[in-house]
Amino acid sequence: MNPFSLENKTVLVTGASSGIGRTVAIECSKMGATVVLTARNEERLQQTLSQLEGDGHAIIVADLTDKNDRLRLVEQSPKLDGLVHCAGIVKTLMFQFVDAESLSEVMNVNFASPTLLSALLVENKKIAKNSSIVFISSVSGVVCVWGGNSMYSASKGAVNGMMKNMALDLASKGIRVNSVNPAMVETSIFEGGLIGAEQIEEDKKRYPLKRYGKPEEVAYAVIYLLSDAAKWITGSSLVIDGGYTLL
Ligand X SMILES: NC(=O)c1ccc[n+]([C@@H]2O[C@H](COP(=O)([O-])OP(=O)(O)OC[C@H]3O[C@@H](n4cnc5c(N)ncnc54)[C@H](OP(=O)(O)O)[C@@H]3O)[C@@H](O)[C@H]2O)c1
The set of residues, in sequence order, having a beta carbon less than 8 Å from that of 85 and lying 6+ positions away, is 14, 15, 114, 117, 118, 133, 134, 135, 136
User: What's the min distance (Å) between Cβ of 155 and ligand X?
Assistant: 8
Active site residue 224: no
Among the options 152, 207, 212, 244, which is catalytic?
152
CB nearer to ligand X: pick between 33 and 141: 141
DSSP character at residue 96: G
* Max CA distance (Å), the chain: 55
Handedness of CA 71, 72, 73, 75 (dihedral sign): positive
User: What's the min distance (Å) between Cβ of 14 and ligand X?
Assistant: 6
Sole binder of ligand X in the list 163, 166, 185, 239 (CB under 6 A): 185
Cβ–Cβ under 8 Å, residues 176 and 122 = no
Applying CB under 6 A, does 63 fall inside the site for ligand X? yes
Q: At what angle do helices 67-76 and 113-123 cross, to 10 degrees?
A: 40
Cβ–Cβ under 8 Å, residues 227 and 168 = no
Cα 70 to Cα 129: distance, rounded to the nearest angstrom:
22
User: What's the min distance (Å) between Cβ of 134 and ligand X?
Assistant: 11
Please list every residue from 151 through 170 that binds ligand X, using CB under 6 A: none
Q: At what angle do helices 113-123 and 150-170 cross, to 10 degrees?
A: 20
Tell me what percent of the chain is helix, strand and coil, each rounded to the nearest 5. 45, 20, 35
Cα 5 to Cα 152: distance, rounded to the nearest angstrom:
33
Applying CB under 6 A, does 187 fall inside the site for ligand X? yes
CB nearer to ligand X: pick between 98 and 143: 143
Applying CB under 6 A, does 17 fall inside the site for ligand X? yes
Stretch that binds ligand X, among 63-71, 163-171, 199-207, 229-237 (CB under 6 A): 63-71
Task: Convert residues 18-57 into a mask of x (bound to ligand X by CB under 6 A) and - (unbound).
Answer: xxxx-----------------xxx--x-------------
Sole binder of ligand X in the list 10, 29, 118, 138 (CB under 6 A): 138
Please list every residue from 68 through 127 that binds ligand X, using CB under 6 A: 86-89, 109
Q: Name the residues that contact ligand X, by CB under 6 A.
A: 15, 17-21, 39-41, 44, 63-65, 86-89, 109, 136, 138, 182, 184-185, 187-189
Question: Which residues belong to the active site?
Answer: 152
